[in-house]
Amino acid sequence: MNKLQMYKQLLSTDYSEAVNLLLSKYGHGKDDYYRENSYKRFLSGEIKNITRGKYSRTNEGLYCHHIDEINMMNISNKDFIKENKLSYVYQKKERLVYCDLIEHTILHVLIAKETSGDFGFLGYEVFLKPIIEEWYIEEKIPNPLWMKNCYSKAFVNPEEAVQIIGIMQKLLGLCYVGSSKEYYDEKARKLQRIKDNQIQRERKQKELEIQWRKKEEERKRKEFNKKLEEFYIVYPSFEEVAIHFGTPRKRVLSMMFDYKYNNHYKTNKDFNKAMLPVIKDELLRELYTMISK
Q: How confident is the model at residue 188 (pLDDT cuts 50, 70, 90)?
A: confident
Rounded Cα distance, 136 and 101, in Å:
11
pTM, rounded to two decimals? 0.65
Mean pLDDT of 122-142: 94
The yes-or-no verdict on residue 184 having pLDDT over 80 is no
The yes-or-no verdict on residue 193 having pLDDT over 90 is no
Rounded Cα distance, 149 and 126, in Å:
21
Helix ranges (DSSP H) in the chain: 3-11, 15-26, 36-43, 78-84, 101-114, 121-122, 129-132, 145-153, 158-171, 180-234, 249-259, 268-274, 280-291
Mean pLDDT of 144-148: 96
Rounded Cα distance, 97 and 70, in Å:
13
Q: What is the pLDDT of residues 5-36, one digit of tens each?
A: 999 999 999 999 999 999 999 999 999 999 99
* Start-to-end C-alpha separation, the chain: 111
